[in-house]
């Protein structure tokens, strides 16, 4: 039941909730329609007015196409499988240890780091002249950076490392919430009382109940890894690049006919994502079949502390590597001279902050405007949706939620290209409204999902009592419900800002190159040689979401402080009770 409407949930209310819920999936689907026409030669805005198969013929004869397709599939599937494996290792080896609670605190700031900033950090770590090779240079006696492709390697291994660093923590967060909804303690106890080791009990009893709960996030990770553009531009293969990047190159080419090629290529990308999902489903089914006998074969397992410690160490190394990206990026912003084998800069200076920071102010402001606007609009729409959704029809609610996932489960490159085709046709591209709307495609679902839990946990009786007391639903909503839910609302604002700050393609596609955000600038600079400037951009990218998350964390503390001040007043009224 909602606070704004009365108990008779109104028809207009449902209509509002449904229309908000449907806008973004509808735009996504329209994007696919918009990309299909140019893929078959029809794009009047650029002067192509007849259907043909030419774009497809050109696509199929592109040199190195199949290499691109296969590498894209390899990178996406490997990154997803490794992320899931690491999550599983984490669950089994760290459950009920201090690492678990430390991780639960470290995850939020880690997840707030935009993909591209993390990629820049990994670039600084893994590059031939990066921090890792500097650490090795001493013992191995290297005078100059080794001549190996440790980043931008043709197989995309460095890209996989970056994706895993970002996606494994995401899956872990999902795992932790799944664990809290599953009686893992009881299951593991039951297993151990039957003589199974903790690890075997986890694998055979807890994991089969937990995996279905994190399956949707796994598919989101898969779709993302198969179609990622910004991270791939920074650290992925160069010649040839992965397919999504190649599609972007075609789209940006001044030669107009390549736009049609980009459209066809993006549909091929959709095919790759669907194929990848199909392969994943096939692997799931095969494993399920193969493991069914193993689960009930009665193997109890042996205590293996070495393996458990190896699992924990892997996870700690991963957390440290993520932290190291932040450190190395910060170092580069204050390093003036940092010759190769030196582990630390030899000359420190704030010169790049003083000289280059003014350059950042414009993109910083643009980023903040877009992020703040899309996060606030995302929250307002989510709250309207949550207030008016049909709570007494669970299947309709589930369907609504399922729709929200659509933009996250499909390749961005494909539908954004189609949306861009629409925007270009109606001359709406390059407007702030178009950019914010495209950001909302991704910001809104996260806002909604983040608020939905708090809205469900809210005790409706507070609103009932409020309405009965003051007779005004609006007053009750603003003075009772919103203040009680202030902390989740602030966290969601921070999340929305983090999501928007990280977005690359939506800004690029809807902005017609007129909007420079920290992320678009950082990605553009990544191929150049100016490490200090690049580090400055990456650091700002990391700091903005972290700053807002810190503010959100402070909200409840702040109101506590305020209330301590309040409650000190009536001490006089309190003391008589304790006096004899």
Nearest to 454 by CA among 379, 394, 506: 379
Would you say 103 and 311 are in contact if contact means Cβ atoms under 8 Å apart? no
For residue 404, the minimal CB distance to another protein (Å) is: 23
Tokens representing 101 are 């609670």
Residue 480 lies near another protein (rule: CB under 8 A): yes
* Rg value, the chain, Cα: 26
CB atoms within 10 A of CB 527: 11
Choices 124-132, 183-191, 216-224, 457-465; region in contact with another protein by CB under 8 A: 457-465
Looking from the CA of 417 toward its CB, the CA atoms found within 13 Å total 35
Which residue, 11 or 302, is less far from another protein as judged by CB?
A: 11
| H-type alpha helices, 150-228 | 157-180, 184-193, 198-201, 207-227
CB of 566 to another protein, least distance (A): 6
Q: Give whichever of 63 and 576 is closer to another protein, judged by the CB atom.
A: 576
Considering only 459, 578, 579, 580, the residue that binds another protein (CB under 8 A) is: 459
Does 566 engage in binding with another protein (CB under 8 A)? yes
Identify which range of 85-93, 114-122, 314-322, 456-464 contacts another protein by CB under 8 A: 456-464
CB of 145 to another protein, least distance (A): 58
Stretch that binds another protein, among 173-181, 228-236, 284-292, 478-486 (CB under 8 A): 478-486
C-alpha distances (whole Å) from 125 to each of 57, 137, 153, 459, 508 are: 41, 13, 15, 49, 27
**CA dist 357 to 313, 354, 360, 545, 559, Å?**
38, 6, 5, 18, 35
- Number of residues lying near another protein (CB under 8 A): 35
- 529 versus 570: smaller Cβ distance to another protein: 570
Q: Which of 23, 111, 486, 524 binds another protein (CB under 8 A)?
A: 486
Q: Which of residues 4-43 bind another protein (CB under 8 A)?
A: 6-9
CB nearer to another protein: pick between 106 and 553: 553
Q: Out of 466, 488, 496, 511, name the contact with another protein by CB under 8 A.
A: 466
How many other C-beta atoms lie within 10 A of the C-beta of residue 231? 25
**Stretch near another protein under the rule CB under 8 A, chosen from 219-227, 334-342, 543-551, 558-566:** 558-566
- Report the SS3 class of residue 124: helix
Distances in whole angstroms, Cα of residue 531 to Cα of each of 152, 153, 342: 16, 20, 16
Which one of 310, 470, 547, 554 is in contact with another protein (CB under 8 A)?
A: 470
- Applying CB under 8 A, which of residues 139, 298, 358, 471 lies at the interface with another protein? 471
Q: Which of 323, 279, 312 is nearest to 122 (CA)?
A: 323
What tokens does 392 get? 């007494």
Per CB under 8 A, the segment of 139-147, 201-209, 215-223, 567-575 that binds another protein is 567-575
Which residues, other chains included, contact 166 with Cβ-Cβ below 8 Å and sequence gap of 6+? 113, 115, 118, 231
Q: Are 211 and 205 a contacting pair, CB within 8 Å? A: no
CA 175 – CA 168 distance, rounded (Å): 10
Give the integer Cα–Cα distance in Å for 526 and 249: 16
Asked whether position 563 contacts another protein by CB under 8 A, the answer is: yes
CB of 571 to another protein, least distance (A): 9
When binding is defined by CB under 8 A, the residue of 105, 289, 302, 392 that contacts another protein is 392
Nearest approach, Cβ of residue 394 and another protein (Å):
11
Alpha carbon distance, N-terminus to C-terminus of the chain = 49
* Range in contact with another protein (rule: CB under 8 A) among 120-128, 141-149, 242-250, 474-482: 474-482
464 binds another protein (CB under 8 A): yes
Which residue from 174, 171, 553, 166 is spatially nearest to 325, judged by alpha carbons?
166
Q: Is 574 in the site for another protein (CB under 8 A)?
A: yes
Identify which of residues 299 and 478 has a Cβ nearer to another protein in the complex.
Answer: 478
Which one, 25 or 466, has the nearer CB to another protein?
Answer: 466
Helix, coil or strand: residue 348? strand
Distance CA 494, CA 379 (A): 11
By the criterion CB under 8 A, which residues form the site for another protein?
1, 6-9, 391-392, 459, 461-462, 464-473, 476, 479-480, 483-484, 486, 559, 563, 566-567, 569-570, 572-574
């Amino acid at each position: 039941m909602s606070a704004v409407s009365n108990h008779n949930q109104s028809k207009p209310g449902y209509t509002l909730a449904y229309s908000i819920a449907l806008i973004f999936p509808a735009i996504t689907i329209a994007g696919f329609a918009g990309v299909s026409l140019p893929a078959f030669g029809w794009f009047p805005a650029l002067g192509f007015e007849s259907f043909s198969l030419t774009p497809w013929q050109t696509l199929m004869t592109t040199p190195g196409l199949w290499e691109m397709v296969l590498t894209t599939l390899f990178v996406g599937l490997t990154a997803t499988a490794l992320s899931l494996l690491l999550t599983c290792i984490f669950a089994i080896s760290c459950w009920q240890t201090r690492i678990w609670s430390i991780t639960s605190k470290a995850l939020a700031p880690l997840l707030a780091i935009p993909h591209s900033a993390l990629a820049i950090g990994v670039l600084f770590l893994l590059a031939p002249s990066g921090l890792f090779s500097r650490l090795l240079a001493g013992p191995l006696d290297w005078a100059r950076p080794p001549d190996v492709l440790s980043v931008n390697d043709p197989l995309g291994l460095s890209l996989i490392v970056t994706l895993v660093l970002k996606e494994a923590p995401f899956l872990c967060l999902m795992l932790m919430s799944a664990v809290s909804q599953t009686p893992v303690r009881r299951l593991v106890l039951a297993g151990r009382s039957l003589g199974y080791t903790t690890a075997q009990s986890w694998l055979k009893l807890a994991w089969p109940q937990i995996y279905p709960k994190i399956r949707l996030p796994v598919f989101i990770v898969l779709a993302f890894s198969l179609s990622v553009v910004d991270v791939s531009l920074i650290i992925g293969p160069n010649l040839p690049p992965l397919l999504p990047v190649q599609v972007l190159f075609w789209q940006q080419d001044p030669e107009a006919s390549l736009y049609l090629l980009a459209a066809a290529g993006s549909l091929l990308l959709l095919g790759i994502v669907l194929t990848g999902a199909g392969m994943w489903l096939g692997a799931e089914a095969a494993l399920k079949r193969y493991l069914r006998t193993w689960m009930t074969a009665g193997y109890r397992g042996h205590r293996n502390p070495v393996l458990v410690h190896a699992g924990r160490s892997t996870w700690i190394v991963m957390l440290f590597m993520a932290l190291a990206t932040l450190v190395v990026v910060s170092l580069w912003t204050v390093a003036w001279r940092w010759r190769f084998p030196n582990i630390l800069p030899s000359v420190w200076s704030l010169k790049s902050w003083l000289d280059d920071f003014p350059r950042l102010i414009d993109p910083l402001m643009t980023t903040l405007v877009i992020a703040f606007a899309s996060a606030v609009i995302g929250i307002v729409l989510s709250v309207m949706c949550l207030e008016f959704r049909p709570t007494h029809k669970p299947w309709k609610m589930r369907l609504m939620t399922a729709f929200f996932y659509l933009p996250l489960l499909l390749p961005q490159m494909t539908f954004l290209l189609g949306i861009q085709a629409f925007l270009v046709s109606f001359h709406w591209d390059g407007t702030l409204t178009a950019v914010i709307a495209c950001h909302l495609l991704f910001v809104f679902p996260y806002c909604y999902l983040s608020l939905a839990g708090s809205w469900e946990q809210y005790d409706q009786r507070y609103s009932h009592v409020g309405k009965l007391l003051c007779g005004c639903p609006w007053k009750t909503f603003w003075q009772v419900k919103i203040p009680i839910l202030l902390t989740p609302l602030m966290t969601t604002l921070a999340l929305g800002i983090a999501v928007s700050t990280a977005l690359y393609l939506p800004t690029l596609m809807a902005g017609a190159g007129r909007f420079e955000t920290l992320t678009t600038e950082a990605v553009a600079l990544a191929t150049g040689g100016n490490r200090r400037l690049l580090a400055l951009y990456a650091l700002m990218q990391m700091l903005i979401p972290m700053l807002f998350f810190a503010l959100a964390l402070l909200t409840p503390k702040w109101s506590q402080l305020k209330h301590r001040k309040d409650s000190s007043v009536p001490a006089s009224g309190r003391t008589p009770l304790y006096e004899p």
